[in-house]
Each structure stands twice: as structure tokens, then as C-alpha cells.
Structure 1
């Protein structure tokens, strides 16, 4: 089994590395192996075997009542923690819902934040951002918190030569990051992970304007109810289409914007919004509702921007 894994990994990496693409490109290769799904199936197999063994060993003897157990505690342990965006399960209370969510309340490097040009440090020394995404069959789901499109291995970004695989992209209405103190109507997050488990997220904000033809691919199959992932082999929506023409971006160290709010996330948020029509934004909002976490304090962090402001020359005056 180990040999077969290594062969598949080699196939994925060799396809990605040998494809000639520009810094922001859309590869036209066929779909690649979804190694992540295969690994999940392999992980599930030992659990199923264990369950059968446990059933055989713990079968009660005839006429002997089984020992009393705290079924409520057992059910509560197996039941996933529920959180949301309103009421007593909203962002204000995430840190109190479970010890696992404590960082949502106690963390000092939380996301999202308000991005302001005057407070960000201009620099030309930020690592280059190289985006290499491929066209793959559309895998879409409504997970109860957002509309998410899942991606197989083979699409990635490189930041300063370090590779992060694209895992998924998802949407928030309104935007989670603010610009100059204002929320935009929508934001998409592209979530990546490197081989050591470190996360890097690209954020793109949407403003109301012209229709975005690429969003129609999603809107035509938008799952209105939470449920399992659906796969459309004849459809594809490459998130490279959401990258704005002006590729200036903010960079800062933050967190996941949903529980458990883990920190150490490398954030890159593009300065320039992209457009979507009012009708398209409304269609997303009808399904998502308001699923944006409020902004958090920057605290002692520095927000960098990938551009430096031009030095203003002193105005020249002539007196008559």
C-alpha cells in the first residue's frame, strides 16, 4: 500500500511541476487523482474493523442486563459542536461554547481585521505570490456555514518559493475583512496548506457592479440546503478568475475566521475588489445569510502592503 501511495503522489507532483504556466494561470490538463479522498477512506477502514470487534466482544450474556452508562454524555461527545453567526451561538460567544474554541476569545492574532492603507507598512520586499490553479470538475457543498468548492491536489500557490496546495474556496456575505472601515457585500477565501500543515489564505472582496460571468457557474447549481458534496464533471470554476487585475495585496499573520479560530494563518488580501451584480450577490446572500465574523483588533501586529507609496514632491508655488 505504501508503494502505491508514493506512485500516486509522484504522478500528482510531476503533473503540477512540469506544466508550463505563468504566475497567474489556468491549467487545461485533465482532472488529477484526489489522493485526499482515498486517504480518508483508508483511515475509515480500521475504525469499521474495530467496531465489529467491539460488538463481538461486548455482546451481553443472556438474562444479564448491560451495565448502566451515561448515554447522554456519550451522545454529547459524538455530536459535533454547533456554532453559528447569530444569537448565543454567534461569534461573540464562540470562545465560550467549548474549550476547543477558547482561542476565538483569548487569541491576540485573530482574523478578520480592518485593512487601512495609512496604517499598513508599504514595502517592495514582500515575497512574490505565484498562483497556479487548474481546471477540475466542480465539487460543491453547502456545509451549513458557507458554500464551499473543494479542490484535489495539484493546484497551488508559491510564496517566496514555498508551495501551498489549494484545498478549497468558499464565500462570505458580507465581506469579513473591512477596507477603510467598511464591509463590502461579499468575499471569497481560497484556503491553502503546505506539507507541514501551515495555512495560507487568499482573500478577494467583491463590490457591486457589473455581472461576474464566472459566478454564474456556481449560481446555476447553488445548493440551498446543507448536505453532502455534489460533483459536476462537466462544470469547472477556476478561482484564478477571481484574482483582480491589480495584484497589490495586504499581508498579515492572522487566524481562521471560524471556530476553532486557530492562529498562525498567513493572510493575503487583495486591495482591489472584483465586481458582481446586485442580483448575483443577493442570490448568495439568500443562501448564506450573514456569515461574516466581525473584525478583530490588530493589537501588536503589523500589516504589510505589497506596494510602497510614491514619495510626494513638495508643491511648487509661483507668486505674482
Structure 2
């Protein structure tokens, strides 16, 4: 498995260099990004309803252009700032259902699949979805896919745990239930074992950003693993057959800094 060093700061709130706690986002935005049902306004990844036009489709999407802490971003190879706090993930195997949103396929857990404790807050997994190719880049390099583990807190804060993926050799067993659900949306009782879906290297990058889909709400905290997971060519092909280009282009990073840390996973 190739190992990729990502910059240290990828998350959902305008954390900027201060590393302040993520600001709350409204419930509608926090429940299931990417929100396929963002109002009645149709949006897409191409043409007259594509990313360059999102902010013009409705005032509700104004942040897609006016926001100054948008995601995704291009990450540096190495982050200068190191975090002393360590997020903790508690992974509890459960089952869930796959849902085609019209923009991606989500795996929605029936029970408590994972909980993240971070800076005094607790975030529960709402859903996992994919983008192809990756939305975040590293020194301009795009990966084959990117998965977002969207976690929400009771007060509406959103934390997205992101895992980049590249095409490798053998089938990745930990990701096969997700692949099966992507192949046949609507499938239920799919096993979800978050711990088996994460890279072995606990190093991550963290920053404050936004949802990567309309309404592009800011105040989202991003935590992105350094090391990509490997999926087989056949597994990538299943995702590509569903959505072969559902990635928002990289947004200006501005004065936001990346921060590097390590995460603890408990089962």
C-alpha cells in the first residue's frame, strides 16, 4: 500500500489557524450531506447547474460562492502545525441500508456505528458516502475516490472523517459491504464495521471548511487520513458505474492552516 502524507487540517468549521471548535450548522445541513434534497432546487456537477452555478440557482446556495471557508481544498504535503489533542473513534459493528441520493450512494447505519470524541464534543455517524474522483487533493494530486464519514453532534455541529482511496490489487474486504450497497441501492442489513474501513496509519490532517455540496454550509470540521486505503479495480469500477464524476472542484484555501495529529480507534 502506498502511503501519502496529507496536510494537517481538513474539517468543517471555520477553524482557521485558531483551531477553535466548529461553529454549529443548521439541522437540515447536518443530517445528510451531500443533501440530495436541498430544497426543491436541482443541482448537478455539470453544465448550467454545475458547481460554478450553484450560488446562482437559489439564495439558499449563496455560500457556495460568497463563503470564505469552502471545501474541498488542496492539501500541502506536510503540515507545520502539530495537534496535541487526539480524537477518539469508538467503532461498533452494526448494519445499515444503502441509499442513492441522486448525487452519490450513502450507507446509512441502523445503529451506533461510530462515535467520535473531539474537543469536548461527541459526534455520531449519520452516513458514509463517496465522491469519484477525490474532492481533496494533495499538492495537486487527485486520488481515485474519497469517502466521507459524516458525523453530527446534538447541537448540529458536523465533523466529516474523510478517507482517500486509490486503486490497488486485492479486494478490500472491509469496504465490500459498501461496494455491494453501491451496486444495488436499497439493500439493507449491510454490515458496517467502521474500524475495518479506516487506514492503519492513525495520522490525519484537520482544517475548518464547509459541506462540499449545496448549500455549502460552513462551520464543518474536516479530519482527513494521511494514508489512503486501497480498493481493487473491480471495486472502483462499481463506484464509477454509479457516479463517475461527482466531485466539487478544489476551493481557495485562503489563510486557513492545516494541522496534523493522530487518531485513536477503539472497538
Interval containing the TM-score (normalised by the shorter chain): 0.7 to 0.9
> TM-score by structure 2 length?
0.78
Residues 200-258 of structure 1: CA distance to partner in whole angstroms, max 9, x if unpaired? 00000001113212232233343567xxx4423xx312222221111111000000000
Q: Hey, what's the Cα distance between the residues in 2 that align with 1:246 and 1:285?
A: 26
- What are the ranges of 5 or more consecutive residues in structure 1 without an aligned counterpart? 1-77, 308-320
**Shift of residue 79, structure 1, vs aligned partner:** 7.2
Aligned position for 1:169: 128
The correspondence of residues 192-207 of structure 1 with structure 2, limited to 5 A, is: 192-207=151-166
- SS, match of residue 55 in structure 2: helix
Residues matched between the structures, number = 223
What secondary structure sits across from 1:231 in the alignment? coil
How high is the TM-score relative to the length of structure 1? Answer: 0.66
Q: Which has the higher strand share?
A: 2
Distance 1:79 1:147 in 2: 19
C-alpha root-mean-square deviation of aligned residues, in Å?
1.9
Q: 1:239 aligns with which of 194, 200, 206?
A: 194
Unaligned runs of 5+ in 2: 1-37, 263-267
User: What is the aligned partner in structure 2 of residue 262 from structure 1?
Assistant: 217
1:208/1:165 CA distance change after superposition, 3 Å: same
In 2, Cα distance between equivalents of 1:83 and 1:224 = 23
The structure with the largest alpha-carbon Rg is: 1
Aligned residue in 2 for 1:135: 93
User: Which residue of 44, 66, 69 corresponds with 1:84?
Assistant: 44
**Maintained 8 Å contact 1:83/1:94:** yes
1:215 matches 2:175: yes
Aligned equivalent of 2:206: 251
The aligned residue for residue 54 of structure 2 is 94
In structure 2, distance between residues paired with 1:149 and 1:158: 22
Q: Deviations over 1:247-280 (max 9, x none)?
A: 1110000000000000010100011111001221
